Structure 1
Amino acid sequence: MTEQDGWERKFDHRWANSAEHKEPSARARMLAARWKENPPGPVPFRADPGPVPRRSSWASTAVVLGCVIVVMVLIGIVELGSSR
C-alpha cells in the first residue's frame, strides 16, 4: 500500500458534513429515550445567583502581605540557624 492509497482512504470531512441524514450521537439517543418516559422539568436558562458577599480588597492584600512576611521570617530563622 503506497502513501497515496492511504491518503485516499482517509476520512473526508467535507463528504461527511454534506450527508443528508445525520444520525444523533449515542448520548442524544439515550436522553431522547429517557425523556420520552420521564420528561425533565422546566429549568431557567441562567439561574439568578444569590448575592455574593464582597470581600474587601484590603483584607486580601493584608492576607497576602502577612503570608509574605511570615515566609521572610521563616527564611531568616532558617538562615540564622544554618550559619551557626
Structure 2
Amino acid sequence: MAQQDDEEREFDLRWADRAEHKEPSARARMLAARWKENPPRPVPFRGDPGPSAPRRSSWLSTTIVLGVVAAVILLLGYVRFRAPY
C-alpha cells in the first residue's frame, strides 16, 4: 500500500512540474505589489559599509576582564579571611 502511495505522489509531482503556469510564492506576490508602487533603488554588489564605531583595543578588554577577576579573587579571599571558623 505504501509503495502505491509513493508512486501516486511521484506522478503528482511530475504532473505539477509540467504545469504551464506556476503561481508565485506569497513573498514574491508581496514584493511585486510593493515594488509596483515604490520600486527599489539599485544597490551595488558590495555596497559601502559606511562609518562604523571605533573599535576598542583588545588589550583594553583583556585588562578589564583580568582586573575584574583579580578583584573578585581578592574580595573572596578577604571575606574568607574575615569569616570566623
Q: Which category of TM-score, normalised to the shorter sequence, fits these structures?
A: 0.5 to 0.7
Match of 2:69 in 1: 68
Describe the shift of the 1:56–1:11 C-alpha distance in structure 2 as closer, same or farther (beyond 3 A): farther
Q: Percent identity?
A: 55
Q: For each residue in 1:6-25, what CA deviation from the matched residue of structure 2 results, as whole angstroms up to 9, or x when unmatched?
A: 9638965xx37x81454321
- TM-score for the superposition, normalised by structure 1: 0.61
In the other structure, the counterpart of 2:39 is 39
> What is the RMSD computed on CA atoms of the aligned residues?
3.3
1:25-50 CA-to-partner distances (Å, cap 9, x unmatched) read: 10111101111122112233333222
Segments of 5+ residues of structure 1 without an aligned counterpart are: none
The 5 A counterparts of 1:1-84 are 4=2, 8=6, 15=13, 19-20=17-18, 22-49=22-49, 50=51, 53-81=54-82, 83-84=83-84
Closer, same or farther: CA 61–29 of 1 in aligned 2, 3 Å = same
Distance 1:19 1:66, change over 3 A: same
Whole-Å separation in 2 of the counterparts to 1:6 and 1:76: 74
Structure 2 spans left out of the alignment, 5+ residues: none
